[in-house]
Chain A
Amino acid sequence: MGKFLFYRLLQAVFVIIVVTLIVSFTIRLTGDPAVMLSQGSGSVTEADLEMIREALGLNQSFAAQYVQFIQGLVVGDMGRSFVGGAPVMDLISRALPATLWLAFASLAVSIVVSIPLGIKAATSRGTWVDQLIRIVSLVGLSFPNFWLAIMLVLLFSIVLGWLPPSGMSGIASFIMPAATMGIILTATNVRLVRTTMLDTLRSQYIMVARAKGLSNTVVLYKHALRNCAIPLITYFGLQFGGLLGGIVVVERVFNWPGLGSLAFDAVAARDYPVLQGVITVLAMMIIVINLLVDIAYGLVDPRVRKE
């Protein structure tokens, strides 16, 4: 286990360096933050811009800036935002929980809905129930998430007035963003659960479980489901990574105070330190999720455990 964690840590460091290097380099190709910052402040001379650049440390070479960023990272300092000067660490630690909660809520909604639906589709294979579930999930898959989000706001906030249209304030505010993300995930997950379940149900041990006299529910949820777990966990883990990326759009629509909004604003303002910080944290999250997935494999399937 010690060796395993050490190996994973090395892997993590490598991934973070590569990801931040690419992001820091490419963002610097897209525009000058000094120009962005001085917009709307009347006549700005080249000397003024130079002063701003010097103040932000942008007059140094890219290599020097990057080394500085990494040095800061090691001691837990990600610099200050170009806009407003707040420490990046503070900004992220305020936004991260909001995003994590939303991501977990979306994934939870999708898992809770897709597992029973997928199993139902598998066990009633070829009947109208199966067809219906498949068609509905295909429809769900075809919605663009921003469109779905806007439609939900129109219906539930503006027409019916049941739910708050934006911001994060209590459980009710989670419903629409989580549902938007969840519906799209559910659509793919139902199909995944159905396929793995059909495979598993063909196994001999399922027949053995039935021959023991076990009820259908026990056969499906105890004997079959855990055997579907490896492909499902793998996919759910991958999804979580995608979820963090895809959340930007939904956070914008619902004005959700998370990492997505933070990153969006940072790109618009060429706020390098914030963007680098957000990307680094997202990369770390994905590494942690992968680690959790590997640990989960061992928990659900004894064949994966190391002797």
Chain B
Amino acid sequence: MWNFQRLGLELAPDSTEQPVKRNVYVAQAPLLSIQSLSVNFGSNSVVRDLSFDVRAGQTVAIVGESGSGKSITSLSIMRLVHTMNAEITGGRIVFQGDSGAVDLVAQSEKAMRRIRGKDIAMIFQEPMTSLNPVYSIGNQIVEVLRLHENHTRASAREEAVRLLKLVRLSDAESLLKRYPHQLSGGMRQRVMIAMALACKPKVLVADEPTTALDVTIQSQILTIMRDLQREMGMAVIFITHDMGVVAEVADQVVVMREGVKVEEAPVSELFARPQHPYTKALLAAVPKLGSMSGTDLPRIDPLVVMAGDETRSVGTSRVQDTARTGEQPIVEVTDLVTRFNVNKGFFGGVSHRVHAVENVSFSIYPGETLALVGESGSGKSTIGRTLQLLQESTSGDIRFSGKAVADMTRAEKMRLRQQVQYVFQDPFASLDPRKTVGFSIAEPIYTHSLLTGKKAVQKRVEELLERVGLSPDKADRYPHEFSGGQRQRISIARALASRPKLIIADEALSALDVSIQAQIINLMMDLQQEEGLAYLFISHDMAVVEKMSHRVAVMHLGQIVEMGPRRAVFESPAHSYTRRLLSAVPVADPARRTDRPLIEGDIPSPVRAIGDEPERLILQEVAKDHFASIEMQ
């Protein structure tokens, strides 16, 4: 168990664990009332008969998995669904404006333009693409101010500076002249918030505003949004798939599934006593940080699935004691360095380098899951690609089963590619759309000549499909006929086809809905138990890492800052960065909501000028098998 008091350093002095005061709503007409809303894509119904209310100062979270209709709902409130070729087919959206109640569904486009951006504003998911790349930050904020309020150019600029300060961007004056590409993702999302709040909207619709951000940046954005909401007293409709974020921000929660509201309840009520079996299954599937406290080994838990009006547990609970640390490691990496040149000089001269990986050393033992965690640019994916021999390292030593890669013959490298397999993040992009899934799974078998004869290969493909929980007769189907989760199963079947000893899973669960994610976690753990597989599990999701890993290495700017048994790293983190990472994770439990202090700062860049070498961290053993770099304080 970790808590904020222990985290020390970067916290403000008064940051003790206090439950947040809940807002109390006096009986009053709701600010926004969605009544029996239905939306269609052509003849396809995507939202059906949806009703909920939002009051001033309240945060209503809409949660659901992909295809639940939550994003379409947010665009309906803005009356922008037509731009996605969808259409509101029924219901009312009653907004309590300054001049009385209006039904947004019945408003003319012209009247809606006066409401959008003024009374109801919206923040979108992708901060990297939601600002127009060819206009300066100042231009884009001033534009909305001058559109809706009586501003001169000069007074609008002044107001823009004030807004940028409001979202805690320093150097606001010079920021006005800068362009989106010069800003990091977190800064862009703050600019987006400043833009949305420019005309003091009564309702803010936030569609997955932190999903694309690293966890420490997510924490910053959530804190800023919460503070500004309190200050301005606006209502927030927060659309998300992340139950942790819901627990953190929401007063009221609407759970959607396949276009229908399945449950609505105050947040504490929903988490404590979920009524609908779907909500129960959803909550059970969410990995909660801290849920493995007090245990040494990963544990596989039964899945909770819907069964009519009830939920049912599938599978058993089992401790995953598969790591064979007494044996020779499958992989030993010593002082690995990987750098990329960046051409910034005019004639293509190298002036900067990306220090992707710097002096990294670790081993992976048979049957073990080693997690590499870190934020964007930490070098975790580069390590994965280097081990798969997809990426040349700058220096360092990599050994597989005791043999150095540098000394390997072509044939030995080929064998190595058979023993180390990769599962990627995006199940939509990692299968060839023009080949049947059977072909994709069989390919490694042919490449490595593991079986002879068409019959034998076909039998093995069917076995593998069954092994990952798919029907064997699906082998002649094409990838587009499968869902995201099924495709990830197929990717795993393909990885298993060459009978590997190690699978590198690079954010393999990140693109999946939580219920699917829970299934794949169990599948991966079952396979580890039965086949003795080792995993290099590359992830930014601390809760999933906690559930699956035997050991954890925390990466920051290309170096390992802390490495050790999962329990040691999660329960007594020795490095400040590890603590910072852990404290930033939203926990799916509203009872543990705290007034979290603002984590300052941006994620630093691993790009450095030539000659400006990063300082090499030295790891020290702080407890048995638990290493952390020494920090100067």
Contact = CB atoms under 8 A, between A and B. Distances in A.
B41 to A, nearest CB: 14
Contacts of A227: 132-134
Interface stretch (B143-151, B264-272, B471-479, B516-524): B143-151
A236 to B, nearest CB: 17
Given A3-B346, A213-B115, A213-B144, 12 more contacts: A205-B130, A205-B132, A207-B124, A212-B116, A212-B121, A212-B147, A213-B117, A223-B135, A300-B134, A302-B136, A303-B181, A306-B346
Given A4-B346, A303-B181, A215 B133 contact: no
A303 B179 contact: yes
B80 interface: yes
Given A208-B124, A302-B134, A303-B133, A213 B346 contact: no
A210 interface: yes
Contacts of A209: 132
A29 to B, nearest CB: 39
Interface residues of A, number: 23
Given A203-B129, A210-B83, A301 B134 contact: yes
A211 B181 CA distance: 21
A205 B126 CA distance: 9
B371 interface: no
A303 B80 CA distance: 29
A215 B148 CA distance: 12
A28 interface: no
Minimum-distance CB pairs A-B, first 3: A213-B117, A213-B116, A212-B117
Contacts of B115: 213
B116 A204 contact: no
A301 B126 CA distance: 20
Interface string A85-127: 0000000000000000000000000000000000000000000
Contacts of A3: 346
Contact of A213 (B113, B181, B192): B113
Nearest to A125: B85
Interface of B: 78, 80, 83, 112-118, 121-122, 124-126, 129-136, 143-144, 147-148, 179, 181, 192, 195, 346
Interface string A214-226: 1100000001001
Choose among A4, A207, A209 the residue with the greatest number of B CB atoms under 10 Å from its CB: A207
A211 B117 contact: yes
Contacts of A214: 113, 117, 143, 147
A207 B113 contact: no
Interface of A is mostly: helix
Given A212-B143, A214-B143, A302-B181, A226 B116 contact: no
Contact of B131 (A205, A210, A215): A205
B133 to A, nearest CB: 6
Nearest to B129: A204
A3 B148 CA distance: 46
Identify which of B125, B130, B195 gathers the most chain A CB atoms within 10 Å of its CB. B130
A214 B195 CA distance: 13
B78 A226 contact: no
Nearest to B120: A211
14 contacts: A204-B125, A204-B129, A208-B130, A208-B195, A211-B116, A211-B122, A212-B121, A213-B114, A213-B115, A213-B117, A223-B132, A223-B135, A227-B133, A301-B134
Given A3-B346, A4-B346, A212 B195 contact: yes
Given A207-B124, A303-B179, A213 B129 contact: no
Nearest to B192: A208
Nearest to A307: B344
A304 to B, nearest CB: 10
Contacts of A208: 122, 124, 130-132, 192, 195
Contacts of B147: 212-214
B133 A205 contact: yes
A205 B124 CA distance: 9
Nearest to A201: B83
A209 to B, nearest CB: 7
Contacts of B148: 213
Contacts of B192: 208
Interface string A291-303: 0000000001111
A306 B147 CA distance: 32
A203 B130 CA distance: 8
A227 B134 CA distance: 7
A302 B179 contact: yes
Given A227-B134, A300-B134, A303-B181, A207 B118 contact: no
Contacts of B129: 203-205
Contacts of A306: 346
B97 to A, nearest CB: 14
B126 A204 contact: yes
Contacts of B112: 213
Contact of B121 (A211, A215, A300, A301): A211
Contacts of A207: 80, 83, 124, 130
A204 B124 contact: yes
A209 B147 CA distance: 12
Contacts of A205: 129-133
A215 B116 CA distance: 11
Nearest to A205: B132
Which one of A208, A227, A302, A306 has the greatest number of beta carbons of chain B within 10 Å? Answer: A208
A68 to B, nearest CB: 35
Contacts of B181: 302-303
Contacts of A302: 133-134, 136, 179, 181
Interface in A19-35: none
A213 B135 CA distance: 17
Contact of B80 (A204, A211, A226): A211
Nearest to A209: B132
Contacts of A203: 129
B118 A213 contact: yes
Nearest to B182: A302
B467 to A, nearest CB: 39
